[in-house]
Amino acid sequence: MNDKEMAKRYIYEVVKRVPQDMREEIEMELQALIEDMCSQEELSVEEALQKLGDPAKFAKRYRDHDNYLIGPDYYDQYCWVLKLSIICVGISAVVSAVVQALTQSDTIVHFFTGLFEEFFINLFGGALSILGLITIIFAVMEYYKVTVQVKPGKNWSVRELSKNAASVKSWTPRLLPAIPDKRAVISRGDCVFTIIFIIIFSALLLFAPQLFGAFHYENGRLTSIACIFNLPEWGRIVPLFVFSLFVGLIDEIIRLVIGYYCRFVMYGNLICNVFQIAAAVVLLKCLPIWNPDFAREIQTASGIAEFSRGDLLAYWGSGIFSNVMLLIIVLISLAEIGVTVYKTLRYE
């Protein structure tokens, strides 16, 4: 590792720990500082970086507060993900409240009463749940310092460096991890989109599963024809359903926070996908997730005498729909695992 590469790695490790709007300015200042130290104090780049010290500790100079449960390495990402999640919960609460008010209200007074009641109940419950979930995930990541890149030899972390100096080796610039290959960077937009989808979908499953089905508008009211899910059995189905989505949420948050393909992301993705495939098998093959009367209720409400052979509803209850859904889930999971493993081994 030459002097130029060593300086770039140090700057990268400092800049990634500061707020987004400060990064460009700090990068230029730090570059100039290193050059001045080398020229004015006649130090080598390695000696200058050794004098500056651990980049994680150096980055704290640009922050005006300390965090304990969620440390500075994660605090900005934690706040950003939490804000995004609360917005998603709010959107799902509005959608759920409006649809439930439309389907259950006979008068305008009942509509607005039901609308506000359902909205605040769904919003409060969903916000508390997502607050606890996101906090736990980031607290665990902070405790184990999961962003430390896995590589051969002795690794270092902020937690290790804060211990007794007699038992932990001093930090040196030689310990700086490599800057990730651009092809190994994980798309932040993809992670954000998936997180939004998971949160909204989970909230709707918890608070308004009846929205998943067929509707028609009659006599000024939106009326449900049939729900695709087996609502009488929903109490024992939804926990596993939400757990599967929760596992996917953990995977996406890890990918979003770390930001590039590495062994930790690969192992996390592999474990999460295995759990999700297993949950899908139990949901689709062992539990009565689907409404057994869905096709008949659609047929009765629409006045259709008989479904054609090309219509999937003609095979409702035969297990074909569950098999198709399970096959799609398995193929998507395997494809995601394959891409993650390839990019990790190729570009890490």
- For the stretch 259-309, pLDDT in tens is 889 898 999 999 999 999 999 999 999 999 999 888 888 777 777 767 776
Using one digit for the tens of pLDDT, what is the confidence trace for 86-144? 887 888 777 777 766 766 666 666 666 777 777 777 777 777 877 887 888 888 777 66
* 8-state DSSP, 152: S
Mean pLDDT of the chain: 79
Spatial distance between the Cα atoms of 105 and 221, rounded to a whole number of angstroms? 8
* Long-range CB contacts (within 8 A, 24+) of 242-246: 242/202, 242/205, 242/206, 243/279, 244/275, 244/276, 244/279, 244/280, 244/283, 245/198, 245/201, 245/202, 245/205, 246/133, 246/202
Model confidence at 68, pLDDT cuts 50, 70, 90, reads low
- Residue 316 CA, chain-centre distance (Å), reads 33
- pLDDT of 278 reads 94
